[in-house]
């Protein structure tokens, strides 16, 4: 058994590292360049970075060439994700929602016109997508969604509300699930629609929801007679549930998260090395435990990569990774805040914050990780039923 990447992947890794060394935006003190970034400047920097990726075909390397990718293997994609995660490469939503969700969905369920229209705009970095699934009464039980779309001539007319729409205020495009047949059993009356140019859609209002890290990450979105052309329906009317469940990401190992946690552990180790002896004595065993746990996470991620590279679809194994990484992240960042002492609570805006204020920021931002993408309770249900074969009830 040999557990390492091949020469091709390692050469690619060098190339990616070199690119990141010269192109990574400097957004320290601004809460990273991600969707929830506090300042417009950080978001603009992330956009610029993304455009550079787009020029190289690096936004969706694993997509087929005809759709603007490089046709890269799962292992090559893992190298990208590992390096991006370790080095804190920002995303604007293009890679997460564009490449991770709507792109694969269109590749499988979209018609030729939809593929031609939308996929190149994802791989160029031009379009930023957001996801309109959750509603105030529909989260884990997503099929309970009530946002209504009624066919009227060549359009659908949408009324209702979405919630927790990450990056809705930064996006220009939304994919969403709507109810088109209220009489049908709940999974069968849902359709999948694309909404263009959401910032300029009459009747569509985006309102901020500020999270407990004081970041504007997600939003409420209200629809009042919003008209969407019927050509924006993906798949068949009333069969949208099955379209919406296609989240066949080209790489689902979560290896970027593990790499980012590894970097955090390295930063904490450096801090401990330069600190007083009593602190090293107090924290070194706990730190060592996290290094072990992080390695376990890496191998759980590699297992997913292996399953996908072998042409199989990860099932409960992806739930194992999701639970493991999200809960480990919460523990690591909590540990980091404690280890840094009182000043460890300084947020990125405070110039004296150790490690750029990353620890409290990451700790607070890690809390919802066990809720989004299917809460960890739902993931445990999946492991119990699909993994262990236990009955549902």
Ligand X SMILES: Cc1cc2nc3c(=O)[nH]c(=O)nc-3n(C[C@H](O)[C@H](O)[C@H](O)COP(=O)(O)OP(=O)(O)OC[C@H]3O[C@@H](n4cnc5c(N)ncnc54)[C@H](O)[C@@H]3O)c2cc1C
DSSP assignment string, 189-206: SEEEEEE--GGG-TTEEE
Parallel, antiparallel, or unpaired for β 190-195 and 148-152? unpaired
Contacting ligand X (CB under 6 A), which of 67, 84, 129, 164? 164
Could you say which DSSP state residue 235 is in? S
Q: Which stretch binds ligand X (CB under 6 A): 80-88, 130-138, 327-335, 351-359?
A: 130-138
DSSP assignment string, 8-43: HHHHHHHHHHHHHHHH----TTTT-SSTT-SSHHHH
Alpha carbons 130 and 132: distance in angstroms, whole number? 7
Site membership for ligand X, residue 375 (CB under 6 A)? yes
Contacting ligand X (CB under 6 A), which of 133, 175, 302, 335? 133
Site membership for ligand X, residue 165 (CB under 6 A)? yes
Site membership for ligand X, residue 129 (CB under 6 A)? no
Q: Which stretch binds ligand X (CB under 6 A): 163-171, 198-206, 241-249, 270-278?
A: 163-171
Which residues does 219 contact at the CB level (< 8 Å), separation at least 6? Answer: 164, 165, 166, 168, 169, 206, 207, 208, 209
Site membership for ligand X, residue 364 (CB under 6 A)? no
- Minimum distance from CB of 330 to ligand X (Å)? 13
Q: What's the gap between Cα 16 and its chain centre? A: 20
Q: Are 173 and 191 in contact (CB under 8 A)?
A: no
Alpha carbons 376 and 357: distance in angstroms, whole number? 27
Site membership for ligand X, residue 362 (CB under 6 A)? no
Contacting ligand X (CB under 6 A), which of 19, 86, 156, 218? 218
Contacting ligand X (CB under 6 A), which of 139, 329, 348, 360? 139
Residue placing its CB nearer to ligand X in the complex, 5 or 372:
372
Residue placing its CB nearer to ligand X in the complex, 309 or 384:
384
Q: Which stretch binds ligand X (CB under 6 A): 57-65, 121-129, 158-166, 275-283?
A: 158-166
Which pairs count as long-range contacts for 111-118, CB under 8 Å and 24+ apart, including other chains?
113/231, 114/194, 114/231, 114/232, 114/234, 115/67, 118/173, 118/194
Q: Which stretch binds ligand X (CB under 6 A): 10-18, 237-245, 275-283, 377-385?
A: 377-385
Alpha carbons 281 and 278: distance in angstroms, whole number? 5
- Minimum distance from CB of 176 to ligand X (Å)? 8
Residue placing its CB nearer to ligand X in the complex, 35 or 119:
35
Q: Are 220 and 209 in contact (CB under 8 A)?
A: yes
Site membership for ligand X, residue 214 (CB under 6 A)? no
Which residues does 4 contact at the CB level (< 8 Å), separation at least 6? Answer: none
- Listed residue (292, 291, 321) closest to 304, CA to CA: 321
Q: How many residues bind ligand X (CB under 6 A)?
A: 18
Site membership for ligand X, residue 377 (CB under 6 A)? yes
Residue placing its CB nearer to ligand X in the complex, 143 or 309:
143
Site membership for ligand X, residue 368 (CB under 6 A)? yes
Residue placing its CB nearer to ligand X in the complex, 165 or 271:
165
Radius of gyration (C-alpha) of the chain in whole angstroms = 21
- Please identify which of the residues 9, 82, 83, 251 carries the catalytic annotation: 251
* Residue 18 falls in the annotated catalytic set: no
Contacting ligand X (CB under 6 A), which of 27, 77, 131, 264? 131
Q: Which stretch binds ligand X (CB under 6 A): 67-75, 228-236, 280-288, 365-373?
A: 365-373
Spell out the SS3 assignment of 78-146: HHHHHHHHHHCCCCCCHHHHHHHHHHHHHHHHCCHHHHHHHHHHHHCCCCCEEEECCECCECCCHHHCC
Site membership for ligand X, residue 98 (CB under 6 A)? no
Residue placing its CB nearer to ligand X in the complex, 145 or 340:
145
Return residues touching ligand X (CB under 6 A). Answer: 130-134, 139-140, 164-166, 218, 368, 371-372, 375, 377-378, 381
Q: Kindly list the catalytic residues.
A: 251
């Amino acid at each position: 058994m040999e557990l390492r990447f091949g020469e091709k992947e390692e050469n690619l890794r060098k190339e990616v590292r070199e690119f990141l060394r010269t192109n990574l935006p400097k957004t320290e003190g601004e809460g990273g360049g991600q969707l929830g970034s506090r300042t417009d400047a950080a978001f603009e920097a992330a956009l610029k970075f993304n455009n550079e990726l787009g020029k190289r075909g690096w936004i969706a390397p694993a997509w087929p060439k005809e759709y603007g990718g490089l046709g890269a293997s799962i292992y090559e994609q893992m190298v990208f994700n590992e390096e991006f995660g370790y080095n804190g490469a920002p995303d604007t939503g293009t890679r997460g929602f564009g490449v991770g969700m709507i792109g694969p969905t269109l590749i499988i369920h979209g018609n030729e016109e939809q593929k031609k229209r939308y996929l190149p705009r994802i791989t160029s970095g031009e379009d930023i997508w957001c996801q309109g699934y959750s509603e105030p009464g529909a989260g884990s039980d997503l099929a309970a969604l009530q946002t209504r779309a009624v066919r009227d001539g060549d359009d659908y007319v949408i009324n209702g509300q979405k919630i927790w729409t990450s990056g809705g205020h930064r996006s220009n495009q939304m994919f969403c699930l709507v109810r088109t047949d209220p009489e049908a059993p709940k999974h069968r009356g849902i359709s999948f629609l694309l909404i263009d140019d959401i910032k300029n859609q009459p009747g569509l209002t985006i309102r901020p929801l500020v999270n407990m890290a004081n970041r504007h990450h997600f939003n409420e979105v209200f629809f009042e007679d919003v008209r969407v052309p019927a050509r924006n329906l993906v798949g068949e009317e009333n069969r949208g549930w099955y379209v919406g469940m296609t989240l066949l990401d080209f790489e689902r190992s979560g290896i970027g998260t593990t790499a980012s946690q590894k970097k955090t552990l390295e930063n904490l180790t450096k801090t401990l090395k330069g600190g007083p002896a009593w602190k090293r004595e107090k924290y070194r065993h706990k730190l060592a435990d996290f290094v072990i746990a992080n390695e376990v996470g890496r191998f759980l991620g590699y297992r997913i990569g292996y399953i996908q590279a072998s042409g199989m679809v990860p099932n409960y194994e992806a739930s194992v990774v999701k639970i493991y990484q999200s809960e480990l992240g919460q523990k690591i960042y909590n540990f980091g805040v404690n280890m840094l002492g009182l000043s460890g609570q300084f947020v990125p805006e405070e110039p004296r914050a150790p490690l750029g204020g990353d620890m409290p920021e990451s700790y607070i931002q890690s809390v919802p990780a066990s809720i989004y993408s299917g809460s960890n309770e739902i993931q445990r249900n999946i492991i119990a039923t699909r993994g262990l074969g236990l009955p549902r009830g």
